[in-house]
Amino acid sequence: MESSNRRLFIAIIVVILIGCLCLCLISLIAGGYFWNFIAGDTVTNMPAPTSIQQDLAIPTQTTQKNPNPTPTLTELSSSPGNPTTTPELTAPSPGSNLPADISNQMDKIQEQVIKLRGLASTGSVTRSLITQEGLHQHVVNDFLKDYTQVESQEDALVLATLGLLAPDFDLYDFYVELYSEQVAGFYDDETNEMYVIQGEGFQGPERLTYSHEYTHALQDQHFGTKDGLGCNDEAWEQDSEGCAALQALIEGDATLLEITWLINDATRQDRREIEQFYANLESPVFDRAPSFMREDFLFPYSYGQLFVEHLYKQGGWDAVDQAYHNQPLSTEQILHPDRYPVDKPVPVDLPDLTPALGDGWREIDRGAMGEWYTYLILAEGLDPASRLKTLEAQTASEGWGGDAYVVYYNDQIKATALILQSIWDSAREADEFSQAFEKYASARFDTPTGTQASLKIWDSPDSSNLFRKNGVETTWILAPDSSTAQAIYDTLVSH
């Protein structure tokens, strides 16, 4: 699914997520339970996409011993698959009007990150602190410079058609506000510049953020997150699923390293300052974001961290490094790390349907929804009454094998048409999704108005919906009226 928060391929760290991580981890450290973060069986088939705190596997019996000891976080830098010697350091990175004490602290954190991650620095990065006002300008002038008001309006139309957003939602201004509020720091892979948002100085929260952001600099130096990995704006349009999976790998890598730094190298004062910062943190823009957007915004950090943790358990940081050369291809692989790299998405092709639609229609979006957005549609719709329960939506979307969707818009009648064709792993999985979709559609569009063999129909004054199951394939058509929906259906059947 291509919306601007998924297209934004600049490495950033999110305030609200890191708050959840840090407060929980500080509690674990104080209780002496942090070993279980790595040793515990924290990766399930598909963990509920809610709070990261649910994924930390806090022991319920504090006296229980681990029957199969695995490396603790304090041993990460010397575990199997990691270098046994400290990578060679380069000269300190240049600062941009940084006070000497802050520059020295950054140098020290860089050394710590290099040692923990096992990646030597191959060059320097320009770095500086930036104010909230400066961040706002950066969001407008750089983050969203290639994202126009017209594109944001079309994205809003697509998301509204999927039932995730109000059609008149001002997506562009909201992203400006959201990123201005939520970004704690960022590494710009186009300019090799690193920024940490300045609070009261360079304290625990800023130091923590720097460990995350410097990991991005190392990733860029070794794996080429800007060029070598190929996920630019054009790639997002061609393969949003693959780019979303890659972004989860990149952010999950930096998040796991940040956690490692917090436990191994953060001082008690750092932890006190972090705890105090997040105890007083307010996030009104994030809090009023639509439900699906909050979940999607955190996806590459929360699920990415679980994916990278799974790789780390298999072979240390070497296994994580190898994933950059054998990239995950779908959000399914991120949600189910045990399916990486074998379970690859099935290609699905949709024809050009403008001839069937007639005059006045134009294509505004095309791509793959993926397992993640299939889940969001079922569980995180704008209307709470249409939302399926988390486990029900997870079960329905879990058998995803591949899909393609296309959205058309008619400027004259101000109407949209959606076609989503999905392939499932088995007929049983297709049945599970079909049953869940029927429940979702009946809640969103009212009771079905007709059934024709394997075809179900929901007609209303606002739209006409057709849903068909054929073996392992399902097709959802949403159109402004029944004649348009039928024309689309007839074209697909004959294709």
Residue-wise pLDDT for 271-285, tens only, equals 999 888 888 888 899
Q: All domains of the chain, ordered by start, with CATH? A: 4-339 (no CATH), 354-494 (3.30.200.100)
* Residue 227: band (very low, low, confident or very high) from pLDDT cuts 50, 70, 90: low
Report in angstroms the alpha-carbon separations of 168 from 152, 156, 158, 383.
11, 7, 11, 15
How far is it, in rounded angstroms, from Cα 372 to Cα 49? Answer: 10
Give the model confidence (pLDDT) of 286-301 as tens digits: 999 999 999 999 999 9
Give the model confidence (pLDDT) of 411-429 as tens digits: 999 999 999 999 999 999 9
Q: What is the DSSP letter of 417?
A: E
Say if CB 464 and CB 482 are below 8 A apart: yes
Q: What Rg do the C-alpha atoms of the chain give, in angstroms?
A: 23
Beta strands 450-452 and 193-197 are unpaired
Give the model confidence (pLDDT) of 89-138 as tens digits: 545 566 666 889 999 999 999 999 999 999 999 998 998 888 888 888 88
How far is it, in rounded angstroms, from Cα 435 to Cα 411? Answer: 34
Out of 16-25, 244-253, 357-366, which region has the weakest mean confidence (pLDDT)? 16-25
> What is the tally of helices (H) and strands (E) in the chain?
19, 11
* Predicted TM-score of the model (pTM): 0.86
- CA dihedral (156, 161, 162, 164) in degrees, to 10, reads 50
For residue 469, what is the enclosing H or E element?
strand 464-470
